[in-house]
Amino acid sequence: MCSSQLCYPQAVKVFQCVTCDTINDLVPAPGTAPLEPLTLQQIQNEVQAGKNSTTGEVDYSRLEALLQEKLKKFAAFNSCFGTGQPITYEHCGVDLEETRRAFALLLAMPNSIARAVMISVEGLLKRPGKYVISLGSCLTTPIFHNRINFVNKFITQRLSNQQKSNDRNQHIIYQSDARIQAAARVMHLFFKANQPHEMEMLDLGKTRLGEGYVVNTSKNSAVKSQKIPIDEYYNMIVDLIDLPVDFCAWESRSAMFTFCQYPFLISMGAKMQIMAWDAKRQMEIKMQKTIEALVMQKRQKALESMNGDASGITLLTQAELQQAPLLILKVRRNNLIEESLTQLSRNEMDLKKSLRIEFIGEDGVDAGGLRKEWFLLLVRQLFDPQFGMFVYDDQSSYCWFNPASFESHDQFYLVGVVIGLAIYNSTILDLPLPLAVYKKLLNTPATLEDLATFRPDLAKGFDQLLNYEDDDVEDVFCLNFVGSYEAYGESVEKPLMPDGENIPVTNHNKRQYVERYANFIMNSSISDQFESFRRGFYLVCGGHALSLFRPEEIEFLVRGSAEPLDIDQLRSVTVYEGFNDEHEVIKNFWSIFKEFDDKNQRRLLQFITASDRYPATGIANLSFKITCMGSHDSQRYPTTHTCFNQLCLYNYKGRDKLRNMLMRAMNESEGFGVK
C-alpha cells in the first residue's frame, strides 16, 4: 500500500509491513470465498426469521452471524451483491440497486447489527484499503454522504453512552473501545475515498516532481474535486471529550487509540482549541525559562556588585514579571517592515510568547487591537504589488511568490513569521495566497487544479495541449522545453531540462512538458523564496498541533471566512452597554449595516474589529459590543476599541446623521486618530 519494496521468503503467505502497518496477503488463503455471495434476499430472509422467532421476541442473532461470515474476508466482501458479469469500465460487477436496498434495510435495524458489521470488517481495515477506497470513490454523492452519516452516528452513540457513565475516568474509556476504533478506521477509508487526487496517485500517468508536488496529467484533471466538504466528517460529540488529554496521548506516541490519529473527525473549533492549548503550554514553558533566566541574571549582577555576598538580592519587580511572558515590539509606522524584521530576528527564541505592539509616538495600550492593526499594516505593505515580493494574477486575484524579486530572503522569512504569529495569536489575515501555498507548507501533494486556481490561463493552455490528439503538436503549438516568467516588464526564460531550448514539444512528450513546466512554476523557480518563507513559518508553528489541520483548514484559520456577513446572526450575539436592542440608535445602526453593500459592510467590520473577516468557527463566535457614550446628541464621530471589538456610539438624532458619522469614521480613521 505504501509502495515500499520489502523482501520476504517464498514460503511466507502473509506479512505485516513495518512501514505502513498494513497486513499483506501474498498467497490467497483457502476457504476465503463463501459458497454463495451475500444477497438482498438472504438479508430479507434472516430479518423475517428474526421477527418470527420461536421465543416470541425479536432475535436477529442469525442475521448478525450471516453478516460476520460474509464480510470478514476480502474475497467474501468482494463477492457481495455481485451481478456475475465481468468488471469493466461500464459495469462495476455490483448490483448497486440491490446494495442500496440492503443498506437501507440494515440502517433500520438495531445497533447490534451495525456493531456486527463493524466487528466483521475490522479485520479488513489492517489490510491495504485501496480496494475499499476505490469502491467508495465510485459511490454517488448522496449515497456517499449517507454512509458517512451512518458511521458517524455509530461513533456518536458509543461516545454518548460513555459520557453518561459515572466513571470518573470516562474521558478515556473510548481508548479501549474496539468498536469506536473500527468505526474510525472505516471513516478513514471514506475520507481517503473523498480525496480524488490521493486516489489518482494510485493510477498510472501521475508523476511526482520535487518535494511534495504531484501533477496529474490525465484529461479533465482540473475539474475534479471532493464529493463532499471535509466539515461533513466532523463529529460534534468528539469535540466534547478531553481533547488536551487525547492530544498528549497522541503526541507521546502511545499505543492507545486517540481521535487525534483521525483529525478529520475533529471540528475546526476543537482543533483551534487544541492549538490554543498547545500555544499556551509552550508560552508558559517559555515564560518559566525567561523568568529563570532573569533571576539568574539578577543574581549574577548582585553577586558581582556585592563581592560574592548574595544576602541583599531582591526578587523580580512587578514590571519584570509582567514583561516576562510577553514579546513586545516597538515600531514606527513609517518604517514598519525594517523595524519589525529587526526586532523579530533579535527575538527568535521568544516568538511563542504572547505578542504586544507599541507604535512609537502614539498613545494606546495593546489589549489586542494594536496587534491586529500591526498585522494588517504589515501584510498590506509586504503584499503590495509595488513591493515586488509577490506577483498577482488579474483573473484569479491570487498572488504567488515572485521568482524575480529583488527583496532579500529575510523579507520572505518575515512573511512566514507573520503568518505563524497570526495563527498563534488568533488574528485573521486577508492574504491572497492560494491553497497550494498551504499544501506546500504541510507537504501535501498539489495538482494542476491548484495551479489552475491562481494561474487559470496557464492551466487552460495546458489542458488544451493535453487534449490535442493530432500528431502536429510541434507545428500547432510551437513550444520548446523552456519555462518563462516576467521580471519587471521583461520575459526571462529558463530551460526545463538540459538543452531544453532546442527540444520541441511533440505529441509524445507533451505530458512531460506540462509536468516540468508546472514544477518550474510551483517549485524550482521559487525554491529559495519559499524555503525562507517556510523557515519563518515553522519557527513559530513548529508544534505537533499544526499537523492536525488539513491545508484547507489552515487557509481558513489564517484568512477567516470570506462568506457574506450574516448581519442578523451578528446582531443576535451582540452585547449592549447603555443601549438595548429596541433603542432607536441601535435599530438605525443595524438597518444601515444591512443596507451597506459587501464592501462597506466589511469596511465597517474592520473599523470595529480590525479585520474585515470573521473567525473560521463562524460569526456566532465573534464577540461584538456596542456602548452608549451619552444620552445626548453629539457632533463627535463614533469610536472603537478594536481590542475588545467594541463600537462606541452617541445618541445621534436621525438615521441619516448616524449613517454619515459611520461612513466618515470608518473611511477616514487609522490608528488612534483621523487620517
Contacts of residue 256, defined as CB under 8 A and 6 or more positions apart, other chains included, come to 172, 175, 176, 249
Task: In whole angstroms, give the CA distance from residue 66 to residue 26.
Answer: 27
482-487 vs 646-649, strand pairing mode: unpaired
Q: How far is the C-alpha of 621 from the C-alpha of 28, rounded, in Å? A: 55
Distance of alpha carbon 361 from alpha carbon 347, whole angstroms: 22
Q: Is 648 a catalytic residue?
A: no
Residue 147: which of 119, 180, 188, 89 has the closest Cα? 188
- Dihedral sign, Cα of residue 414, residue 416, residue 417, residue 418: positive
> Which of these is catalytic: 80, 399, 541, 643?
643
Element (H, E) at 575: strand 574-577
Is 483 strand, coil or helix? strand
Q: How far apart are CA 457 and CA 393, in angstroms?
A: 9
Q: Provide the grid cell at 142.
A: 448522496
| Alpha carbon distance, N-terminus to C-terminus of the chain | 61
Bridge partners of 148, per DSSP, are none
Determine the length of the chain: 675
Residue 645: which region, alpha, beta or left (left: phi > 0; alpha: psi -120 to 50)?
left
Under 8 Å between Cβ of 221 and 465: no
Alpha-carbon dihedral angle through residues 100, 102, 107, 109, given to the nearest 10 degrees: 170
User: Distance between CA 332 and CA 387 in Å, rounded?
Assistant: 19
**Are 626 and 577 within 8 A, CB to CB?**
yes
Cell of 642: 478594536
Contact 59, 113 (CB under 8 A): no
449's grid cell: 487544479
Please report the DSSP string for 548-565 in residue order: GS-HHHHHHHHH-B-SPP
Cite the beta strand spans of 192-338 per DSSP E. Answer: 206-208, 214-216, 326-331
How does strand 574-577 pair with strand 646-649? unpaired
CA-to-CA distance for 234 and 311, rounded, in angstroms?
60
Q: Is 535 exposed, middle or buried (0-12, 13-18, 19+ CB in 10 A)?
A: middle
- Rounded to an integer, what distance in angstroms lies between the CA atom of residue 115 and that of residue 213? 40
**CA–CA distance, 439 with 67 (Å, rounded to integer):** 41
CA distance 525 to 498: 16
Residue pair 359/372 in contact by the 8 Å Cβ criterion: no
Q: Which residues pair with 82 in a beta bridge?
A: 94
- Residue among 207, 208, 218 nearest 467 (CA): 218
Whole-number Å distance between alpha carbons of 325 and 355:
9
User: Which cell numbers hold the place of 221?
Assistant: 484533471
Residues designated catalytic: 643
